[in-house]
Amino acid sequence: MNSFGGTHTPAIPRRRKHENSLFGTWSCTIQPDLSARKLAAALWHFCFLEVSGLDCKHVMKKFNVSLKEDNWGLRKANKVAAKIVEERKATSDSVVSALLSEMLRAQSCIDNLKAENKSSKKKLQQLAGELEDKLGRERRSRERMEKMNASLVHELAKANLCVNQIRIRYDEERKQRELIEQVCNELAMQIGEDKAKVERLQSDFMKIQEEFEQERSMFEMADLWRQESIQMKLADARISLEDKHNQMLKLVDYLHSFLRSKGVEKADEELRRGLVNEPVIKVDSLPNLNALFSSTIHIVSLDNEDQQQLLFR
C-alpha cells in the first residue's frame, strides 16, 4: 500500500525506461565531469522512485553493483544522489500534493478519453453498418456483374465464332472475286482479240460482198447477153424456118403444077389433102444453157396416111 491509500504493483525498471534516466546514462560510460542537466535527471529519477514506493536501498545496491568498476566519477555521483534523496525526503509532501493534482487531471483526461472512445466506438459501429450495407450492395452488384460478365463472355464467344465464319466467308468470296476478275480480264482480252478478228472479218466480208456484187452484176450481164443471144438465135431460126416453109410452099406449088401438067389427078388430090392439113411447128428448148445455144426445131405435118418430118439443127 502506498502513501495515497491504494495498492499497486511496483514498477519494474527494466520495462519502464526513461530516455533521460540516470540508470540508462550510468549503464554506459560516465564522464568524470558532471553537468547540471545530468544531476537534474538523476534527481527526477530518484523522486519518481520514492513516490512510486520502491525501495531506495535496493535501488542503491543495484546502482552500486552496476558502478563497481567506475572510479572518481562514480563516487562523486553516488554522493550527489544520496544528498538529493535526503533533500527529497523533506519535500515529499509537496511532491505528493502535486502528484495528486496530476492524478486528478489524468483521471479527467481518462474520463474524456473514455467518452471519446465511446463516441468513436459508436461512430465506428455506424461506419461498420454503413460499410456492411455498402459491402452488401457491392456484393449484389458484383453478382450482377458476374452474371453480366458470363452473358457477355457467352455473347463474345458467339461473336468470335460469327467473326471467324464471316472471315472465312470473306476469304472465300475474295478468292472467288479474284478468280472472277482474272476470268473477266481474260475474257476482256479475248473479247478485244475477237473484236479485232470481227473487224478483220467485217472488212473481209465487205470486200467479199463487193466482189460478189461485182460478180453478180457480171453474171446478170452475162445472163442478159445469153438471153439476147438466145432470142437472136430463135429469131434467126424462125426466119430460116419461114424461109424453108416458103421454099416448101413454092416446091408444093411447083409439084402441083407439074402433076397437073402430067394429068395425074390422084396425086393432085393427095397433094390437095396435104395442103389442107397445115404444118405444125414445134420449138423445143433444153433446160440447160448449153441447150439454149443448140435448139431443136421440129416441123411436123400430120396426114392420115404418112407423116413428114424435117429436122434442122
What is the predicted pLDDT for the residue at 23? 40
Helix (H, G, I), strand (E, B) or coil at 69: coil
Query: What is the b/e burial string over 163-180, where b = at least 16 CB atoms within 10 angstroms of the residue's CB?
Result: eeeeeeeeeeeeeeeeee
Q: Give residues with Cβ within 8 angstroms of 3, minimum separation 6.
A: 51, 53, 96
Q: How far apart are CA 212 and CA 205, in angstroms?
A: 10
Distances (CA, A) of 182 to 84, 172, 177, 178: 117, 15, 8, 6
Query: What is the b/e burial string over 7-16, where b = at least 16 CB atoms within 10 angstroms of the residue's CB?
Result: eeeeeebeee
Q: Give me the amino acid identity at 99.
A: L
Model confidence, pTM = 0.28
Is 285 within 8 Å of 291 (Cβ atoms)? Answer: yes
Q: What is the DSSP track for 27-65?
A: TS---SSPPHHHHHHHHHHHHHHHHTT--HHHHHHHHHH
Is 293 within 8 Å of 233 (Cβ atoms)? Answer: yes
Run of H or E including 299: strand 296-301
* Segments of the chain scoring below 50 in pLDDT: 1-13, 15-34, 50-56, 59, 63, 65-67, 69-70, 276, 278-313
pLDDT digits (tens, 9 = 90+) for 245-259: 888 888 888 888 888
The number of beta carbons lying within 10 Å of the beta carbon of residue 228 is 10
pLDDT digits (tens, 9 = 90+) for 200-253: 898 898 999 899 899 888 989 988 998 998 999 898 988 989 988 888 888 888
What is the predicted pLDDT for the residue at 298? 38
Helix (H, G, I), strand (E, B) or coil at 75: helix
What is the predicted pLDDT for the residue at 250? 87
Is 48 within 8 Å of 95 (Cβ atoms)? Answer: no
Q: What is the DSSP track for 196-238?
A: HHHHHHHHHHHHHHHHHHHHHHHHHHHHHHHHHHHHHHHHHHH
Q: How far apart are CA 44 and CA 50, in angstroms?
A: 10
Run of H or E including 311: strand 308-312
Query: What is the b/e burial string over 78-96, where b = at least 16 CB atoms within 10 angstroms of the residue's CB?
Result: beebeebbeebeeeeeeee
Distances (CA, A) of 257 to 87, 244, 246, 271, 278: 226, 20, 16, 11, 19
Q: How far apart are CA 47 and CA 44, in angstroms?
A: 5
CA quadruple 261, 263, 265, 270: dihedral, nearest 10: -40
Distances (CA, A) of 6 to 56, 90, 91, 309: 20, 22, 21, 195
